[in-house]
């Protein structure tokens, strides 16, 4: 794995804001800087040696690809990176591939690096200075790590993980089923087994959703009479994501026992339907287009002599 340091990840203004927030948690920290760090997984040792050669054609191409952004750094940054003191690495979680990695790896392949580069990944290296001159410890980092990274998708480490961890390749998990059909020797009902699977798989299904699935697979008027797979349960759970609650907003519903003609989502759209003045397009691909107004436009006219 090649480790190539890039430009500054924070502007001077954002760096000052971050420092102010960190000092509320750890007053001993008096300076912070953040640079991008690029991690290159090479296809072979020979290709890694070629990319290590600063004047080789593949390395020249790679350097040009990774030369972007500002270059505002503190004077102590490079020295701190080399000796490893007061350095925090923020990287994607092990086994995950960041959106930046997907796009950057594709671009590298288009730029004739497909034989050398298996995957590119990017992280941020934070470099700190303390007023007391001591090294920051894990207990210090724990007080302000939430300011440095997204805990859902990234990790913050005091040392750079090895390549096997960063570029970990996991085998595809086999499809599994949740047994709701056979009798359980312990006496658990299908509902109890699905409730346990809900907790084990982290589906966050509500009680009425569990009841719906039991009816659909086991005890409804026309049940499927088979066991659901974990993929089916995950898909069912994700339909009710924060982004699109389709099974709620597009469901039929009653008010005081009277069935309504339109769903909640149709009622939301009804405002535009009744008064769509100035609307060119609405509720299409999560976007809308409205009519503008006449406005002057600056231009240059070329006249021939």
- Structural domains in the chain plus CATH codes: 2-166 (no CATH), 190-238 (1.10.8), 246-290 (no CATH)
Token pair 């430009």: residue: 7
How far apart CA 197 and CA 179 sit, in angstroms, is: 10
* Per-residue pLDDT at 198: 92
Two tokens at 119? 């995957």
Decide if 179 contacts 229 (C-beta within 8 A).
Answer: no
Would you give the distance in Å from CA 297 to the centre of its chain? 40
Say how far apart CA 180 and CA 194 lie, in whole Å.
7
The DSSP result for 145-195, as a single string, is GGGTS-TTTEEEESSPPPHHHHT--PPPPPP-B---SSPPTT---HHHHHH
What are the Cα distances from residue 160, in Å, to 39, 135, 139, 157, 261?
Answer: 10, 16, 18, 7, 59
pLDDT along the chain (305 residues), means of 10: 87 91 92 90 92 93 88 58 80 87 93 93 90 87 90 86 78 87 85 93 88 92 92 84 63 84 84 87 81 81 63
Query: What is the model's pLDDT at position 202?
Result: 85
- Residue among 304, 276, 305, 302 at smallest CA distance from 288: 276
**What pLDDT sits at residue 288?**
85
| Gyration radius of the chain over CA positions | 28
Sheet strand arrangement including 29-42:
2-8, 29-42, 117-130, 87-92, 154-157
**Around Cβ 91, how many Cβ atoms within 10 Å?**
23
Residues in the chain: 305
Q: Is the pTM of this model over 0.75?
A: no
Q: Using CA atoms, how far apart are residues 94 and 121, in angstroms rounded to an integer?
A: 12
């Amino acid at each position: 794995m090649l480790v190539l340091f890039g430009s500054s990840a924070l502007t001077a203004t954002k760096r000052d804001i971050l420092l102010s927030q960190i000092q509320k948690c750890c007053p001993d920290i008096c300076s912070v800087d953040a640079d991008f760090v690029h991690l290159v997984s090479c296809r072979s040792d020979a290709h890694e040696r070629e990319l290590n050669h600063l004047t080789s054609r593949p390395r020249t191409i790679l350097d040009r690809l990774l030369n972007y952004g500002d270059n505002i750094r503190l004077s102590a940054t490079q020295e701190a990176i080399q000796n490893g003191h007061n350095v925090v690495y923020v990287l994607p979680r092990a086994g995950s591939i960041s959106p930046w990695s997907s796009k950057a790896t594709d671009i590298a392949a288009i730029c004739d690096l497909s034989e050398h580069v298996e995957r590119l990944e990017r992280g941020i290296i934070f470099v700190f200075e303390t007023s007391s001159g001591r090294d920051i410890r894990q207990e210090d980092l724990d007080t302000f790590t939430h300011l440095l990274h997204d805990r859902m998708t990234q990790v913050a480490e005091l040392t750079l993980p090895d390549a096997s961890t960063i570029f970990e390749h996991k085998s595809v998990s086999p499809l599994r089923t949740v047994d709701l059909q056979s009798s359980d020797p312990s006496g658990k009902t299908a509902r109890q087994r699905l409730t346990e699977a809900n907790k084990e798989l982290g589906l966050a299904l509500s009680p009425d959703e569990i009841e719906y699935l039991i009816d659909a697979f086991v005890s409804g008027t026309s049940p499927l009479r088979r066991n659901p797979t974990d993929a089916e349960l995950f898909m069912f759970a994700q339909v009710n994501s924060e982004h699109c609650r389709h099974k709620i907003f597009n469901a039929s519903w009653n008010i005081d026992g009277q069935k309504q003609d339109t769903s909640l989502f149709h009622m939301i759209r009804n405002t535009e339907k009744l008064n769509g003045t100035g609307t060119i397009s609405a509720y299409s691909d999560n976007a809308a287009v409205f009519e503008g107004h006449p406005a002057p436009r600056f231009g240059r006219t070329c006249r021939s002599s």
